[in-house]
Amino acid sequence: MISLAAPVAQYRAHAHVVQAAIARVLESGQYILGREVAAFERAFAEYCGASHAVGVASGTDALILALRALDIGPGDEVVTVSHTAIATVAAILATGAVPVLIDVDSYMTLDASAIDAAITPRTKALIAVHLYGQPADLHAILASARRHGIPVIEDCAQAAGARCGSRRVGSIGNIGCFSFYPTKNLGAVGDGGLVLTADAKIAARVRRLGQYGWDDDRKTHEIGVNSRLDPIQAAVLQAKLAHLDADNARRAAIARRYEAGLAGLPLTTPGTRPGAAHAFHLYVITSAHRDGLMKHLLDHQIGCAVHYPLPAHRQCGYRERAVSPRDGLPVTERLCKQILSLPMYPELADAEVDQVIATVRSFFTT
């Protein structure tokens, strides 16, 4: 079977450096924070072109701590999209704030033209999700946010290495939040996350909030949590960071092969926003024949999935607490019935890509 994702293939591709990194941590005897975490924070900040990076336990924690560092809490509103991994909206709710959900554009990222109508006096931030590795329209989003005087958090969980113009995502808004879940473009061998910012005060507060509210004197200055990037994960991530651009280039090559091979079929392949560099965490097509195509692929041992079958505004426990427009979210509603993710990871061989293409084509020609 051709897998949808293959973190073990990623490990095998970099096994030597990953094993050496793990052994280095084990031999050091420093198993919480320490040199490995600090070294990865510096390396990732430099890679993204940002001043400060703070490792945390997960991508969800990165969002929660970023929101808390902006003093967002009960009674506040945060604008974001409904078409996203549920963690985006869960993080807003975890602070006690209210998610205000808007629609997406033709690139399946936040529709900047819908921002103004969603803003109220209670709006305290906006989360722009770079979904599937596609950069959101940050130029327009930041322009709207500045007009209203609200900060922008970039949810970069699926977009490590992507660019808007010459700048990497995560370094453009006020705060960037990353996930290092094993299937991500830069994946750990467990969970992990990171907050990126140019603001030293925000970085210091995220670091404090992620360790009980302590400062260096181990006295609490506010209520915090325990959310620390594990040094083994940090060492693995730093070892793999050197290969991220090459891995993303391979993802882009696979995407081009899919686009050429699927041309002419009654489906839409993912475009790339002009001036942007897509990270292709996922390769997501849309088709009115999605359900039949999905069954056909699975019957032929081709991994595929729907990211995501239910948008946040239709999820139990979320729909009751989120706000969405009276006229609905028509693009989001259409997409959840049509999207389908095809296999995408750097270790996918050209012959396997061609097999996926041939299987998709056979569905429409038989």
Tokens of 307: 């990211």
Asked if 136 contacts 127 with a C-beta cutoff of 8 angstroms, the reply is: no
Tens digit of pLDDT for each residue in 180-237? 999 999 999 999 999 999 999 999 999 999 999 988 888 898 999 999 999 999 999 9
Query: 292 falls in which pLDDT band (50, 70, 90)?
Result: very high
| 266-288 exposure pattern, b = at least 16 Cβ within 10 A, e = fewer | ebebbebbeebbbbbbbbbbbbe
Domain boundaries, the chain: 7-241, 244-365
Q: Alpha-carbon distance 135 to 144, whole Å? A: 17
| For residue 366, pLDDT beyond 80 | no
- Residue % of the chain over a pLDDT of 90: 97
Residue matched to tokens 């490792």: 55
With DSSP H G I counted as helix, E B as strand and the rest as coil, what are the percentages for the chain, rounded to 5? Answer: 40, 15, 40
Q: According to the model, what pLDDT value does residue 57 have?
A: 98
Q: According to the model, what pLDDT value does residue 221 have?
A: 85
Q: Alpha-carbon distance 257 to 236, whole Å? A: 30
The pTM of this model reads 0.97
| For residue 274, pLDDT beyond 90 | yes
Q: According to the model, what pLDDT value does residue 131 have?
A: 98
Query: Which fold, 7-241?
Result: Aspartate Aminotransferase; domain 2 (3.40.640)
| For residue 82, pLDDT beyond 80 | yes
Tens digit of pLDDT for each residue in 302-358? 999 999 999 999 999 999 999 999 999 999 999 999 999 999 999 999 999 999 999
Please, what is the Cα angle at 232 between 231 and 234, to 5 degrees? Answer: 60
Asked if 65 contacts 227 with a C-beta cutoff of 8 angstroms, the reply is: yes
Over residues 51-69, mean pLDDT: 98
Query: Which is nearest to 87 in space by CA: 109, 63, 111, 70?
Result: 63
Tens digit of pLDDT for each residue in 230-266? 999 999 999 999 999 999 999 999 999 999 999 999 9
Q: According to the model, what pLDDT value does residue 247 have?
A: 98
Asked if 23 contacts 156 with a C-beta cutoff of 8 angstroms, the reply is: no
Asked if 184 contacts 5 with a C-beta cutoff of 8 angstroms, the reply is: no
Query: Which fold, 244-365?
Result: Aspartate Aminotransferase, domain 1 (3.90.1150)
Q: Alpha-carbon distance 153 to 150, whole Å? A: 10
Q: In what order do the strands lie in the sheet with 193-197?
A: 52-56, 193-197, 175-179, 152-155, 123-129, 77-81, 98-102
| Beta bridge mates, 193 | 56, 179
Q: According to the model, what pLDDT value does residue 216 have?
A: 81
